[in-house]
Structure 1
C-alpha cells in the first residue's frame, strides 16, 4: 500500500504518546507539580499530534466527527471513542498530580487501560482488513502494543521495563515480518479465485483495467524491491531496538536516554513506513503486481 506520511506520523507519534500515558497512569513514575506537567505535556503533544496528523489522510477531514457514531461496527470509530476517553480521564488524573500533588490511583488505572485500548483499536483497524493478508493476523496488534509500551517505558525513564519491552518489541516486529512475508501466498487469493475462473486453468489479465492511474493504484498498490526492504528492516531494527538497548545497558544517563528515545522514534518511523509499503492489497492482482502468485496456479489440462 502507499505509505502516506500522515498515517506514518500518526501511528508513530500516537503509539509513543499513549504508551507514555500508560506508564503515567500506572504511577511509573508518579511526578508532581511542574515535573508532572512536563511529562503530561509531552505525552499529549505526541498522542494528540499523531491523532491530528491522521485526519489529513481522510478524504473529507471536516467529517471526522461522524466517525464516532459507528463504534458498533468500525474499529476506526472505536479508536476515536477510546482515544477521547483516554485523553479526558488522563487530563483529570494529570490535574491531580500537577495542581494538587495528589495521585488519584483509580483514575490513573482507568486512563492507562483506555490508553492501551486506544493503541489496540488502532492496530485492529489494520488487522481487520482481510484484503491485506500481511496485516490480517495476530502479529499486528502484538507488534503495535509492545512497541507502544516500549516507547512509553523509554520516555517514562523505566530502564528495566524499557529493556525488556524493547526486546519483546523487536521479537514482535520480527514475527510480523516473518508471518507477513508468507501471508499473501497462504491466503490463496489469485485472479482465478477472484473471478471464479480458476477451475478452467491459469487466469491472467489480458490488459490493465485502464491506461491511466486511479485511486486504487494510488492508495493500494506500491512496489518495493526486496533488497531495499531488507536494508530498511535492518536499519529499523538497529535504530528501534538494538541501539536503545545498548544505550540503556551501557550508558543509562539522561543525555544518552534522550538519544535512545530519538533513535527508537526514528526506527519506529522506518518500520511504520515499511508496514504500509510492504502491505500488498489483493487489488494489486488486477494490475499485474503479483505475477509470482498467478504463476503458481495449477494449469488443468482439458
Structure 2
C-alpha cells in the first residue's frame, strides 16, 4: 500500500494524543495527579493538539476534503465513519475535564466523570482506527489478530512516555509512571517483533486462480488491464525492496523502542533536571520512530487486487 504521509502522521499523532488524554483524564480526574494550571494546560494542549493535528492531516489524503463531513452519516456500516464520530464526541468530555481540572483546579466529582468519559472516548477512537485496517480482508497483513491490539499498545506506549516527560518537566515525576512507560515501550517492542514475524511467515492462499475462479492450470495475465500505471497500482501496488524494509525495521527498533527504553532507564537513576531531559528526548525519539513504523505498516501491506496485474 502507498504510505501517504498524511495518514502516517495521522495514525502516529492521534495515537500519542489519545493515549496521553486517557492518562490525564483518569489520573488527573481521580486525583492521582494534583491539579496544576500550567501542567494541565500544557498536558491538555499537547494531547488535544496532537489529536487535532492528526485529524486535520488525514483530510489531506481525501480527493475532496470538503466532502469529509458526509462520512459521519455512515456510522452503521463504516469503521471510518465510526472513527470520525468517536473522535468528535471525545472532545466534549475532554473539554469539560479540561475546564474543571485545568481552569478550576478541581478533581473528583463531575471532573472525574468527565475525565473517565474522555479516556473511554480516547480508547474507543483508537479501537475504531485500528478496526479500519483490521477489517480489510483483501490485505492479509492487516486482517490479523495483531492489528487492533497493536494500535492500543502503541497508543498507550507513546501516550505514557509523553505523560512521563510532562511530569518530569514540571518536577512531579512519578516512579510508577516512569516504570509503566518503560514497560509499555518494551511491550510495544515485543508486539512489533511478533507482528513482523507473523507477517513474514504469512501464507496467502489467494492466487490468480482463486481470484478469477478459474480452476486447473495456471492463470496468468497476457497484458495489463491498463496501458499505464493507474490509481490502483499507485495506491495498492506500492512495493518496497526487502533490503530497505530490513533497514527501516532496524531504525524503527532503535528509535521507537531501544533508545527510549535506555533513556527511561537512565531517568530512574538521575534526578531533576537530567531525568526530565532524558524523558523528553525519549518521547521525541519514540514519536519519530513510530512515524517510521507507521510508514512500514502501510508499505509492507499487499493488496490482493495486484494479482490482476501479475504481481
Same-fold status (TM-score > 0.5) = yes
Task: Determine whether 1:273 maps to 2:289.
Answer: no
1:30 Cα deviation from its structure 2 partner = 4.6
How far apart, in 2, do the equivalents of 1:30 and 1:173 lie?
35
Task: Answer whether contact 2:130 2:147 (CA < 8 A) is retained.
Answer: yes
Correspondence list, 1:81-96, <5 A: 81-96=85-100
Please tell me whether the aligned partners of residues 12 and 269 of structure 1 are also in contact (alpha carbons under 8 angstroms): yes
Alignment check: 8 A CA contact 1:20 1:43 kept: yes
Following superposition, the deviation at residue 130 of structure 1 comes to 0.6
Take 1:182 and 1:119, find their aligned partners in 2: how far apart are those partners?
27
Structure 1 residue 209 and structure 2 residue 218: aligned? no
CA–CA distance in 1 between the matches of 2:221 and 2:35? Answer: 62
Determine whether 1:237 maps to 2:253: yes
Residue matched to 1:98: 102
1:8–1:86: structure 2 CA closer, same or farther, 3 Å change rule?
same
Q: Take 1:37 and 1:251, find their aligned partners in 2: how far apart are those partners?
A: 24
1:171-225: CA deviations, max 9, x gaps? 1111221222233x2x31110001111x221111111112211110111111111
Matched, 1:107 2:114: yes
Distance apart, 1:122 and its partner CA: 0.4
Q: Which moved more, 1:28-37 or 1:261-270?
A: 28-37
Cα deviation for residue 32 of structure 1 reads 2.5
Q: Which residue of 1 aligns with 2:10?
A: 10
Question: What pairs with 1:1-302 in structure 2 (closer than 5 Å)?
Answer: 1-27=1-27, 29-103=33-107, 104-157=111-164, 158-183=177-202, 185=203, 187-197=204-214, 199-252=215-268, 253-289=275-311
Distance in 1, Cα, partners of 2:44 & 2:216? 62
Listed as ranges, the gaps of 5+ residues in structure 2 are 165-176, 269-274
Q: 2:62 and 2:34 mapped to 1: Cα distance?
A: 37
**Which runs of structure 1 show a deviation greater than 4 angstroms over 4 or more consecutive aligned residues?**
none
- Measured after TM superposition, the shift of residue 86 of structure 1 is 1.2
The alignment's TM-score, normalised by the length of structure 2, stands at 0.89
Change (3 A) 1:34 1:251: closer
- 2:267 and 2:276 in contact (8 A); partners too: no
Q: Is the 8 A contact 2:2 2:234 kept in 1?
A: yes
Query: What is the deviation of 1:132?
Result: 0.6
**d(CA) in 2 for partners of 1:35 and 1:237?**
31
Q: Deviations over 1:46-95 (max 9, x none)?
A: 01100110011112111111111111111001111111111221111011
Give the conservation status (yes or no) of the 8 Å contact 1:30–1:36. Answer: no
Is the 2:35–2:106 Cα contact (8 Å) retained in structure 1? no
Verify the 8 A CA contact 1:14 1:47 in the aligned structure 2: yes
Aligned length: 286
Deviation, structure 1 residue 288? 2.3
Q: 1:297 — aligned with what?
A: none
Moved more, 248-257 or 215-224: 248-257
RMSD over aligned Cα atoms: 1.2
